[in-house]
């Protein structure tokens, strides 16, 4: 792939070409991709119409209270508050996806949201997932990894999801008085998924040590203290007293700062650098990423002290990231986002929800803390491809004013094969031509 091949480059690193070809005439696409990550605020989504996590949490709690008491919602209020919040968040993403030049930063955001996965199942988290991405992920994906790790770990959605709010030091004041104990979920996932990885050299003793270190990291749930209510707070009565040894390093008991120091050290571990580098290379390039690319990304992570923009720049400057032919199947979310851009479809939130549920990758609702799988085999089942065809036909039916051949030339560019060009040209209807474009190998793979 030549760095100037906009269609293939935006498929691999971004969200695909827009059918209006605005990106194609803007020069070398690698320069465009690099310029996008050089804008420090490029990932932020400051939409005043969206609730923050505290507001969403309170709204869902209030609705649950009303239902328990058998009360009807106030006049004009949605019947399902969490669903209304979710739909507002989805529509904000669709507006962003249609507007961005390359989509590289949006792909980066999606990668890290999946790396630090939470789901929207469960009463307390319902409505909070979109806010979690806006508050914990987006502000830090163009910064340093340790800040991103801290923000994700401290966020109320994560603290609820991985049960840290129920974790109590056995020897803490509350633990001794009430006989409550540790919950190891959060500590285990930080080590296995978020930092050093399953081969990173940690032991069960390290899991227990980190769980003790993170006791007290919780959520303010007492309305008498509005400054902490619904936000991260450190609860000293539940914190396990005493120093802890984690992966060979001793951390003195200085309250919340014990956890901050431990997480920052985990963020700088060589195993963390390799774990992150491997996942990034697998996400953007190949299910079996070139070892030289993984090494280059690992070195960039370590040499820059986890400066993520440096790592992304290394990815874009590496020949290995450009040379491999398209082999990865676009996962469902990317398939939908690329389709929206290709035909400029203002997809309503309920439509997006139905499509992504059918395809098996609902937004902010992964099957486990490991997030959604990032390999093509997961999405290659025959029934899944049949469902993609049904969705492509449905979207094509809403885009009848477009010329399929013109859209194909803009979206696929030089990557369009003779077979795809001929099949689109021979289509009997506009809908059929657009569906053939959206189901073509060149559009499905990146």
pLDDT tens, position by position, 68-92? 888 888 888 898 999 999 999 999 9
Query: Do residues 92 and 64 share a domain?
Result: yes
Which residues make beta-bridge pairs with 220? 229
Q: What's the total number of domains in the chain?
A: 3
Check whether residue 407 and residue 354 sit in a common domain. Answer: yes
Among the candidates 300, 323, 346, a domain finishes at: 323
- Do 264 and 278 fall into the same domain? no
Dmax (CA) of the chain = 77
In-domain check, residue 108: no
Q: Which of 61, 54, 51, 44 is CA-nearest to residue 156?
A: 54
Cα–Cα distance measured from residue 103 to residue 14, given in angstroms and rounded to the nearest whole number: 4
Angle at CA of residue 226, ends 223 and 230, nearest 5°: 75
**Cβ density class 394-415: b for 16+ within 10 Å, e for less:** ebbeebeebebeebbbbbbbeb
Same domain, 164 and 243: yes
| Domain boundaries, position 361 | 327-444
> What is residue 125's predicted lDDT score, i.e. its pLDDT?
77
Are residues 158 and 82 located together in one domain of the fold? yes
**How far is it, in rounded angstroms, from Cα 304 to Cα 36?**
19
The Cβ of residue 129 has, within 10 Å, a number of other Cβ atoms equal to: 26
pLDDT of residue 35: 96
pLDDT, residue 276, reads 98
Question: Is there a single domain that holds both residue 383 and residue 331?
Answer: yes
Structural tokens at position 320? 């290995």
Q: Are 208 and 147 found together in one domain?
A: yes
Tell whether 81 and 188 lie within a shared domain.
yes
pLDDT number for residue 381? 87
Of 323, 348, 363, at which residue does a domain stop?
323
Element (H, E) at 249: strand 249-251
**Number of Cβ within a 10 Å radius of residue 264:** 16
Whether residue 135 is found in the same domain as residue 73: yes
Does residue 12 belong to any structural domain of this protein? no
Q: Which of these, 178, 263, 172, lies nearest to 216 by C-alpha position? A: 172
The answer on 274 and 264 residing in a single domain is no
Q: Are residues 145 and 231 in the same domain?
A: yes
Question: Does residue 338 lie within any of the structural domains?
Answer: yes
Which parts of the chain have pLDDT scores under 50? Answer: none
Angle at 322 between CA 321 and CA 328, to 5 degrees: 75
Residues comprising the chain, all counted: 446
Q: Is there a single domain that holds both residue 403 and residue 318?
A: no
Is 194 a member of any domain?
yes
């Amino acid at each position: 792939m030549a760095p100037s091949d906009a269609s293939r480059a935006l498929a691999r690193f971004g969200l695909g070409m827009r059918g209006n070809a605005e990106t194609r005439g803007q020069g070398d696409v690698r320069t465009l991709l690099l310029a996008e990550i050089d804008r420090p605020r490029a990932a932020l989504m400051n939409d005043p119409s969206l609730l923050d996590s505290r507001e969403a949490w309170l709204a869902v709690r209030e609705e649950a209270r009303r239902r328990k008491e058998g009360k009807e919602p106030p006049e004009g209020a949605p019947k399902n508050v969490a669903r209304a919040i979710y739909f507002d968040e989805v529509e904000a993403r669709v507006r962003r996806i249609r507007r961005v030049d390359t989509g590289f930063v949006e792909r980066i955001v999606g990668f890290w949201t999946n790396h630090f996965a939470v789901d929207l199942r469960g009463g307390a988290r319902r409505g909070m997932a979109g806010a979690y991405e806006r508050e914990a992920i987006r502000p830090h994906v163009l910064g340093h990894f340790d800040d991103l790790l801290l923000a994700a770990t401290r966020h109320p959605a994560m603290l609820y999801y991985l049960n840290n709010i129920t974790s109590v030091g056995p020897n803490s004041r509350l633990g001794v008085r009430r006989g409550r104990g540790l919950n190891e979920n959060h500590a285990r996932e930080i080590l296995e998924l978020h930092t050093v990885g399953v081969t990173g050299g940690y032991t069960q003793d390290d899991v227990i040590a980190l769980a003790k270190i993170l006791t007290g990291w919780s959520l303010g749930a007492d309305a008498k203290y509005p400054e902490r209510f619904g936000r991260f707070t450190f609860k000293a009565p539940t914190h396990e007293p005493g120093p802890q040894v984690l992966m060979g390093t001793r951390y003195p008991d200085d309250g919340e700062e014990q956890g901050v120091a431990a997480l920052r050290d985990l963020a700088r571990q060589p195993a963390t650098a390799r774990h992150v580098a491997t996942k990034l290379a697998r996400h953007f390039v190949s299910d079996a990423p070139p070892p030289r690319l993984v090494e280059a990304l690992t070195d960039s992570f370590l040499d820059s002290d986890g400066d993520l923009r440096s790592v992304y720049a290394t990815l874009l400057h590496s020949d290995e990231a450009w040379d491999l032919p398209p082999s990865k199947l676009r996962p469902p979310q990317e398939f939908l986002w690329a389709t929206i851009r290709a035909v400029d479809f203002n997809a309503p939130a309920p439509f997006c929800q139905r499509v992504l549920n059918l395809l098996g990758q609902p937004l902010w609702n992964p099957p486990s803390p490991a997030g959604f799988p990032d390999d093509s085999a997961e999405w290659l089942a025959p029934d899944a491809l049949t469902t993609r065809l049904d969705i492509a036909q449905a979207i094509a039916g809403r885009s009848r004013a477009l010329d399929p051949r013109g859209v194909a030339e803009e979206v696929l560019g030089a990557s369009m094969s003779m077979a795809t060009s001929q099949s689109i040209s021979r289509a009997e209807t506009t809908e059929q031509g657009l569906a053939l474009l959206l189901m073509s190998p060149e559009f499905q793979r990146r």
